[in-house]
Amino acid sequence: MPSETVHGANTPAPRTVLRGARLLDARGDHGVRDLWLEGGRVEGFDLEGPAELELDASGLLATPAFIDPHMHLRVPGQEEKEDLASGLAAAAAGGYGTVVSMANTDPVVDDPAIVRALVEEAAALGLTRLRPAAALSMGLRGEQLADYAALQEAGAVMITDDGIPVADSHLQRRACEYAVELGLVVQTHSEDPSLRRDGVMHEGRASHTLGLPGNPDSAEAIMVFRDCEISLLTGARVHIAHVSSERGLRVVRWFKEQGVPVTCEVTPHHLTLTDTVWESFDPVFKVAPPLREASDVAYLREALRRGVVDCIGSDHAPHTRAEKDRDVLTAPFGLPNIEVAFPLLYTKLVIPGEITLPTLLNLMQAGPARVLGWPEPTLEPGAPADVALIDLESERPVDPASFKSKARFSPWDGEPLRGWPKLTLVGGRLAFRS
Amino acid sequence: MIPGSTPIDQRPTDTTPRHRHLLDLSDWSREAMLALFDTTDVMAQVMQRTIKKVPALQGFTVGTLFFEDSTRTRLSFERAARAQSADVISFAAGGTSLSKGESLKDTLRTIDAMQADLYVVRHPASGAPLQISRWTEASVVNAGDGRRAHPTQALLDAYTFRERYTGDAGFEGKRLAIVGDVAHSRVARSNVTAWTTLGAEVVLCGPRTLLPDELGERPGVTLTHRIEEAVEGAHAVMALRLQRERMASGLLPSLPEYRQRYQVTRARMQLAHPDALVMHPGPMNRDVEIEGALADEPRSVIEAQVANGVPVRMAVLYTLLVGSR
């Protein structure tokens, strides 16, 4: 991943040894070894000599810190929901070394100065690395392209109007054409706005029974199809965010089989929750795209096994508690999850044997790196010292009160999970320690 | 656990479930509904006296909390509370500063400082009364939430049928046809729950755009898009109010076409059971969803529905406030 920015304090990262961890990365299982880090990079396994920081990692998994291609940090302008310090601390607590922040802030991230400020302020915090996405259209209004070259120069790694689907197909086409020559990934929030309308949940048996306005899966499938066709038309690297439905994912798969350069992500919540949670009428479950049916969840999980899904994107979307204490029609879309993403997926998918641990790690390390065109994260000498230490054994319940995120509520409140990160190093520096 | 080893304090002491709230009718048994109808009979007698007031709820405070305007329903509940000597406090929260920018929870907390014993809640969002019930110690009665439920309306509809149907008594073997905009109707959803729980069948009828297939998955419920099929042999036919904005939002082509295909008319009622009643939850668009002249026929019980609103709501308030203590 890009590492030009000096991360954290302006002193060299201490020479560090993680003693007795099980080392696992994209190259395989390296067994129980000592992992040495120096100057912000991996130095090697089982080395000798003095260490400024020595950490007992026995019984823990050491693996490259995760990459999230899809996080809402709410900066600038919505700091009551999240700010850089809280959001990046939350990411570090989730075992993430790098996150891509979305541009639907206030003001919108459509100005190179905002991108530059985000990168600099985040680097100074010494937490998880921030690589901002920039807006696809000025003000996310879906009318005029943003200055992609200048935004990229300032540090933007992706363009997207995420949060608001690009209704105008012509604009989407031109954005893609322009992005190709810059090598920028175009991420799409693929839902047909004229079909989803005022839907607050998935349209199906549950929405009709509960009397809530529904958003059909065809709204997703239709827009995924358009966005994949535009990738084919323009050659742009299109990344479909948060695919939630079987219908939508089947479309992605069909285009992938034809060699169209599209990638996609799924979220932890779409892999673990269904629309029947709406019986509680709790707006914490209100997300866009909506939670689907059990058959969709099963298909998404199957797609993880088949390799159709490129990565996990958290779509961590914090709001204030008061905003989520509104009624279900007026509460905003989005839920916080970055601190529980790995334990949740490890407990719900890996432990029952639905996917393997290497598959899950791939979806959170090499997968998102490939989507963004970055080098594969490994523990090899010379790789950035972005490392997560994870306790796969101890079980503890989700406790939103202890979240680093300002959004201290969770759909999984009280749920016992395993796989909690104990420590996250970013550029060889401690970004999180539990 | 070994059979018969249940500790004494965990054994059910009373088989009648006691309700603290009336949010929808899904947790109300047939017996509970019939018991409520018996209580309603008593309340109806009270309303026929010269002095229409009893001290049954003296000392209780009922708060009406209307986030959506509905003068009829609010007045009906307030009358039901006052006729039992309860104190009434009213919050018209619809579109005022009370709800603007403030979370539902904060609004409720402010109002809850008045310490009402029971809230009657009307809200444009489905589930709002359920949310409110999580944040207060008081009982909550749903007076209509979004498209989801309007339980007192369904209870008074079923009570009116029980009172006015002249054929053989009971709900078993009876069929209710509900015609019109079922998709957006909380009245339809609650009537489906009430009538099927009471043992009747329900036929839902409307154009496909206003009648989701999924509503036909419940046992005792069938769907049809032909009004003749729905009305044929029915013991009660209920026309639902058609909102004019359904045409603007592309759900219906035109009013004349709707009338032609789905209006409940005298001619179509010829197909129904000879004793069939005509019902409408109000407010009625004469000559839109129902032929005006039909609404004035003796078989129409629309006025009785309105009149029964008060004793049914008296019985609901009494059952929740006194019956549960």
What mean pLDDT do residues A80-98 have?
98
Give the C-alpha separation, A313 to A373, whole Å: 16
User: Residues B120, B218: one domain?
Assistant: no
B125–A323: do the CB atoms touch at under 8 Å?
no
A197: nearest CA in chain B? B249
User: Domain ranges in chain A?
Assistant: 16-61+388-433, 66-377
Provide the domain limits for residue B243. Answer: 152-302
How does the average pLDDT of chain B come out, rounded?
A: 91
| More confidently predicted of A164 and B166 | A164
CATH, domain range A16-61+388-433: 2.30.40.10
Domain annotation covers residue B1? no
Residue B14 has pLDDT above 60, yes or no: no
| Three-state SS annotation for chain B | CCCCCCCHHHCCCCCCCCCCCECCCCCCCHHHHHHHHHHHHHHHHHCCCCCCCCCCCCCCEEEEEECCCCHHHHHHHHHHHHCCCCEEEEEECCCCCCCCCCCHHHHHHHHHCCCCCEEEEEECCCCHHHHHHCCCCCEEEEEEECCCECHHHHHHHHHHHHHHCCCCCCCCCCEEEEECCCCCCHHHHHHHHHHHHCCCEEEEECCHHHCCHHHHHCCCEEEECCHHHHHCCCCEEEECCCCCHHHHCCCCCCHHHHHHHHCECHHHHCCCCCCCEEECCCCCCECCCECHHHHCCCCECHHHHHHHHHHHHHHHHHHHHCCCC
CATH number at residue B160: 3.40.50.1370
Confidence tier at A215 by pLDDT (50, 70, 90): very high
B146–A329: do the CB atoms touch at under 8 Å?
yes
pLDDT of residue B96: 52
B238-295 pLDDT, tens digit per residue, is 999 998 888 788 899 999 999 999 999 999 999 999 999 999 998 999 999 999 999 9
pLDDT of residue A4: 46
Options A217, A227, A315, A391, the catalytic residue = A315
Residue B11 has pLDDT above 60, yes or no: no
Contacts of B214 in chain A (CB under 8 A): 204-205, 208-209
Domain annotation covers residue B225? yes
pLDDT of residue B99: 52
A283-297 pLDDT, tens digit per residue, is 999 999 999 999 999
A211–B131: do the CB atoms touch at under 8 Å?
no
B148–A211: do the CB atoms touch at under 8 Å?
yes
Of the candidate ranges B179-188, B212-221, B247-256, the one whose mean pLDDT is the lowest: B247-256
Long-range contacts of A223-227 (CB under 8 A, 24+ apart): A223/A165, A223/A188, A223/A190, A223/A191, A223/A192, A224/A190, A224/A248, A224/A251, A224/A252, A225/A251, A226/A169, A226/A172, A226/A190, A227/A172, A227/A188, A227/A190, A227/A262
User: Residues B103, B207: one domain?
Assistant: no
User: Residues B124, B165: one domain?
Assistant: no
Decide if A198 touches B, using CB distance below 8 A.
no
Q: Out of A282, A323, A327, whose CB is closest to B123?
A: A327
pTM to 2 decimal places: 0.93
Domain annotation covers residue B100? yes
Give the C-alpha separation, A285 to A118, whole Å: 29
Residue A379 has pLDDT above 90, yes or no: yes
Confidence tier at B100 by pLDDT (50, 70, 90): low
Decide if A282 touches B, using CB distance below 8 A.
yes
Sheet-wide strand order for B118-123? B87-92, B61-66, B118-123, B139-145
Count of domains observed in chain B: 2
Chain pair A-B, CB pairs under 8 angstroms: 61
Q: Please answer whether residues A25 and A61 qualify as being in contact, where contact means their C-beta atoms are separated by less than 8 angstroms.
A: no
pLDDT of residue A10: 61
A161 is catalytic: no
A320: nearest CA in chain B? B103
Confidence tier at A1 by pLDDT (50, 70, 90): very low
Contacts of A205 in chain B (CB under 8 A): 214, 217
What mean pLDDT do residues B138-152 have?
97
Superfamily classification of domain A66-377? Metal-dependent hydrolases (3.20.20.140)
